[in-house]
Structure 1
Amino acid sequence: MADKAREDDAISAVVERLTDLFSATHGPAEVQAAVAKAHASFTGRRVREFVPVLVERKARALLSKSSG
């Protein structure tokens, strides 16, 4: 349970960082959706330690691609 809470906190931090980074081109809802999509792609993976880092990279790529 502690691992889930830690991961959730890390994902929330990813949303905050990317919301700030992409504020000129994407609204908070778009950032949240990109992070949720990226996070969902790791559902069922056994090793969870690096999921927040991988989610951030994937969401960043999705948002960069859609900004132009």
Structure 2
Amino acid sequence: MTLRLTDAETDALRRRAEFESRSMQDVAREAVREYVERHSHDDLIDRVLDEELPRYAEALERLAQ
């Protein structure tokens, strides 16, 4: 895989990596991992809500009163 960044993105990544005393590759890989984990979690929550919330809608309405 080749990742093409703008000059500004490359500069920001370079500065961040230098600040953390890490390689640009390490910082970029961690960012990708965090992105995937965050969105996977969000997708799971959305799926559970879509599937389970209707099951308990009536009970939730009664609790809200």
Global fold match (TM > 0.5):
no
Alignment TM class, shorter chain as reference: 0.3 to 0.5
Normalising to structure 2: TM-score of the pair?
A: 0.36
* Larger Rg belongs to: 2
Normalising to structure 1: TM-score of the pair?
A: 0.35
Q: Which has the higher helix share?
A: 2
Higher relative contact order (CA 8 A, sep 6+): 1
